[in-house]
Structure 1
């Protein structure tokens, strides 16, 4: 059975895992650090010499080997090994390390043990006498051995252990304090998200909703916690390592690396200040240029200013001009960005350019089509339109697509490039701009035996009693064609609710049926031939008299009267 994520058992398990990982990492560092400490500071070359190191500290360098016996590197390693043996032998006092002349050479001895010999070649390389070199080497060795033994005294080891324990306790307290702050911040973010108080707006434009801001802020808080923990460990480990002789070289090296990195960071920042100032000036100028352009566009879009610039153009024009100004500013500021001109910067630029060129042809076509649709004023949000075979109300216009909801409440997403290549019928523009009604029309076919004035009267009456049909202008009828068997009558009526077109057409057709039946008018199919003798009327029974009977067949002969 697994513990629930919100249960204390689950929280305790997660903490145990975290501390276990931290413990294993520290243990690995402790195990590997002595090996690293022994291996470091051994770099050398024939020109600068090979260092003689004791406890991680360089004493001097060996630039010459002994011909036929040892190279300079081997000589340095032998001297180091002897020095470590002497340093660990407490019976040999530092004062026992003395230079001694033997023939033309000088020896450096520790009691009866010979540490190394200064030969003629050493004096030539260092441009000093052999005696001077022996005295200087003796002085350096004594100081190094004194320091080596001082650091390994019991009281200093105890002091280092106490400082390590105190620093570890302080680190744990700091971790605990950091965790409490992080938990409190995450709780406040969660409460603010539930209260919908985290949305980010810039001048009444929502950039991020509460959910998105909650996700971002929570991520930043957790990332900040990780950065603080890593930074504290980066400071803690060198300090603890420097308290013990075995690990002190590594601790000092890490501290030295930190100091070097901070110095490089400060130096790089100081060198970059002129470029940063230039970028700041470019940003400031760009901001004020955008604000000025927005002011000009707003003035152009006033109703009484310029009739050729429409109000609905203000927002898209602002966005388009802002994009162009920002793009120009980026081009101008790019040479002052850090890393500009580097191979990495150029490689990323080429990759992004190729990606944009190869993969965005359709996106660019849709974007251009979207801009053209905006400035051709084909439709606005809320307009009832017909695009090809699709009819519906526009609910969203973006740079790439347009969304339409049809009378069946189906949302249809159309690419702007496809819309630009299609015929667009806008049923709402006349009502919005001219405050005139949209003409709805439908056609019925009736026979020649019906008086056309009566048909006009019935159709106009049916349209006038249809919901959402305007009383003024009055409906009217057009006779569109005189066919072989019938006449086409087109009823035209005005409405100020084009978005209800399907419903209005349905009501109109129902009224046409009712009023034609009431007037005794049969609506016949286009190719219908009526033979009245003996046939029942096609009108519903409700519209026929109660005593209605089908007419009888009439038969006549040529000779009858």
Structure 2
């Protein structure tokens, strides 16, 4: 057989599954069903002492026996005896249906088939059914004759052949339908794979990606395979009763399955019709929820306008929308809960308790982080892109979520910090001044010099060094603070403004380099005064490039007690 290139051939596992389904179906038809059907035709149908016990032929109830014969047989035993005799007569082709007649002998009234007595109609039967015994005998005779005619008609060779032909045709049609279904499913799966490879399956809602192409491909493929399985099961559910109803032996079972299908459909329709008011109520709640959410978003957007309310900041709009949407949906779910199917049932309550226990036991830290995340949003501690210092961690904020915050430090290390930890730490934001007031961030560093160096000269050198540093602002001008007068040295703090706080490590490095260069050019040694007090005879600490060509180290000075 030549295969179409557009449809890949079935894999070994798929072929095995197909043949396994066919094998189980065949065994069910050939072995299990006839045995079950035979048991159905030979066992009594359920009855009781009030409604009577049915007399059944070929799965159809003819009449019911409500009265037994005292001292001889109960009503149930009497019904079983009559049914067995009718079955014997129905299988005896020498007894014509017309031979079944009612016969009266004295006070006894019999229903006979030829010379065989089927059953006796007693006086109690007439009392129970409120009819004369003669009328009961005539009605029973007509029912039995018609049932035997139909029983034998269905078992004729031509009807059996017709049923077999219909069963074969139906089986072939089912196999062809399965093959067609497999081709359709294979084609759909191929299209899903092609769309996934082209990255054309992502699901977006208002420019927000909900699911990527890989996730959507997995989801759609699962739905297609699940739909295939559902169609196969539904086809078998319809196929089996139809095939079983073509043969007299299995017809009761087929009729029973069809009856079960009809009952289930009826129950489904009835349940759906009863649930329609609740469904309508849920729909109204959902519609009102959508309108309330949209109205809340409009109000929040209006609050966030730059010229509307100075106490509501624009960066609060998106998180407030999410928080309000969550609260509105939660309230809607609570209101709609009583109208959901199964609400209040033990199963629903059990699932609710189970989920509540899991949430209580396993989400304490998650709730703490979520609450901390909300607090951090509304305290405006930092925004995406801000350069911050949180405890010992310093870097740029690259992600803010409900539970964690991610920071990338100057070494390009991404650090994930729980929001609860951030809320309990000091947060220094180096970018907020530049962003909100357009002022520069003050960078500062301290050097210590001895009292022998003129402070005005130090100020001049430090300011020149800061001015020569890249990313240091010319205005406002750098300035120097003398922060302390120590025992052996003075602390000079150079302060300079920058509008690039995210480059702090680079700026500090350049500033320190320039301070070294400019101090060396001015002949200022940056070293401890304790070293200079014992430096007689030692070489200067400044690089040779900054020393005069005729520089020679000083000699050691030695003096006696009398000053010589």
Is the TM value for this pair above 0.5?
A: yes
d(CA) in 1 for partners of 2:385, 2:320: 20
Matched residue, 1:94: 97
> SS of 1:168's equivalent?
helix
In the other structure, the counterpart of 2:33 is: 33
Q: Does the CA-based 8 Å contact 2:369-2:418 persist in structure 1?
A: yes
Maintained 8 Å contact 2:100/2:112:
yes
Q: Quote how far apart the aligned CAs of 1:538 are.
A: 2.2
The residue that corresponds to 1:130 in the other structure is: 133
Write out aligned runs for 1:528-539 (5 A): 528=531, 530-539=533-542
Per the alignment, residue 15 of structure 2 pairs with 16
Return the alpha-carbon distance in structure 1 between the equivalents of residues 20 and 511 of structure 2: 78
Cα distance, 1:12 vs structure 2: 4.3
Three-state SS of the structure 2 residue aligned to 1:11 is coil
Q: Say if 1:37 and 1:56, in contact at 8 Å, map to a contact too.
A: no
DSSP 3-state at the match of 1:43: coil
The CA deviation at 1:216 is 1.3
Q: Distance in 2 between matches of 1:103 and 1:385?
A: 116
Gaps of 5+ in 2: none
Alignment of 1:151-300 (within 5 A): 151-300=154-303
Q: Per-residue deviation at 1:361?
A: 2.1
CA distance in 2, matches of 1:397, 1:525: 46
Aligned position for 1:372: 375
Are residues 74 and 544 of structure 1, via their aligned partners in 2, closer, same or farther at CA, if it must alter by over 3 Å? farther
Counterparts in 2 of 1:539 and 1:202: CA distance versus 1, 3 Å: same
Q: Give SS of 2:545's match.
A: helix
**Structure 1 residues 507, 86: CA separation in 2 closer, same or farther (over 3 Å shift)?**
same
Identify the match of residue 446 of structure 1 among 437, 446, 449.
449
Q: Distance in 2 between matches of 1:424 and 1:537?
A: 44
For 1:10 and 1:512, the matched residues in 2 are separated by: 77
Which residue matches 1:522? 525
Cα deviation code 1:74-104 (max 9, x no counterpart): 3322222222222111111111122222443
Q: Hey, what does 1:334 align to over in structure 2?
A: 337
* Offset, 1:560: 5.8
Structure 2: how far apart are the matches of 1:94 and 1:130?
21
Which secondary structure does the structure 1 equivalent of 2:491 belong to?
strand
Find the counterpart in structure 2 of residue 3 from structure 1: none
CA apart distance, 1:378: 0.7
Asked if the contact 1:407/1:502 (under 8 Å) is kept, the reply is yes
How big is the shift at 1:425?
0.7
Contact 1:105 1:130 in 2 (8 A): no
Query: Is 1:496 matched up with 2:495?
Result: no
For 2:143, the equivalent position in structure 1 comes to 140
Is 1:425 the counterpart of 2:428? The answer is yes
Partners of 1:27 and 1:63 in 2: how far apart? 41
CA contact (8 A) 1:105 1:120 kept: no
| Equivalent position of 1:362 in the other structure | 365
* Distance (Å, rounded) in 2 between the aligned partners of 1:509 and 1:554: 35
CA-to-aligned-CA distance 1:195-219 (integer Å, 9 cap, x gap): 2222222222222222222221111
Shift of 1:239: 0.9
Q: Quick check: 1:64–1:71 contact (8 Å CA) kept in 2?
A: yes
* TM-score, length of structure 2 as denominator length: 0.93
Kindly indicate whether residue 323 of structure 2 is the aligned counterpart of residue 323 of structure 1.
no
Offset of residue 506 of structure 1? 1.7
Contact 1:97 1:138 in 2 (8 A): yes
Tell me the alpha carbon deviations over residues 214-238 of structure 1, each in whole angstroms, 9 at most, x when there is no partner. Answer: 2211111111111111111111111
CA distance in 2, matches of 1:529, 1:110: 141
Mapping for residues 403-422 of structure 1, pairs under 5 Å: 403-422=406-425
Question: In structure 1, the residue corresponding to 2:344 is in which secondary structure?
Answer: coil
Match of 1:457, SS?
A: helix
SS in 2 for 1:539: coil
State the Cα distance separating 1:526 from its structure 2 match: 7.8
SS of corresponding position for 1:73 = helix
Structure 2 SS opposite 1:109: strand
Q: Which whole-Å CA distance do the structure 1 matches of 2:560 and 2:411 have between them?
A: 61
Aligned-residue offset at 1:157: 1.0
Q: Choose which of 27, 43, 46 in structure 1 pairs with 2:46.
A: 43
Distance 2:431 2:112 in 1: 108
- Do residues 59 (structure 1) and 70 (structure 2) align? no
Question: Which residue pairs with 2:556 in the alignment?
Answer: 553
Bigger mean CA deviation after superposition, 80-89 or 299-308: 80-89
CA RMSD of aligned residues (A): 2.2
CA distance in 2, matches of 1:405, 1:28: 67
In the TM superposition, what is the alpha-carbon distance from 1:15 to its structure 2 partner? 3.5
- Say whether 1:81 aligns with 2:119: no
CA distance in structure 2 between the partners assigned to 1:325 and 1:422 by the alignment: 32
- Secondary structure of residue in 1 paired with 2:10: helix
Distance apart, 1:433 and its partner CA: 0.7
Matches of 1:533 and 1:355 in 2, distance apart?
Answer: 77
What is the Cα deviation at residue 67 of structure 1?
A: 3.2
Is 1:458 the equivalent of 2:461? yes
Number of aligned positions between the proteins: 556
Q: Distance in 2 between matches of 1:38 and 1:75?
A: 21
Q: 1:508 aligns with which of 494, 508, 511?
A: 511
Native 8 Å contact 2:8 2:186 kept in 1: no
Change (3 A) 1:334 1:152: same
Distance 2:456 2:64 in 1: 124
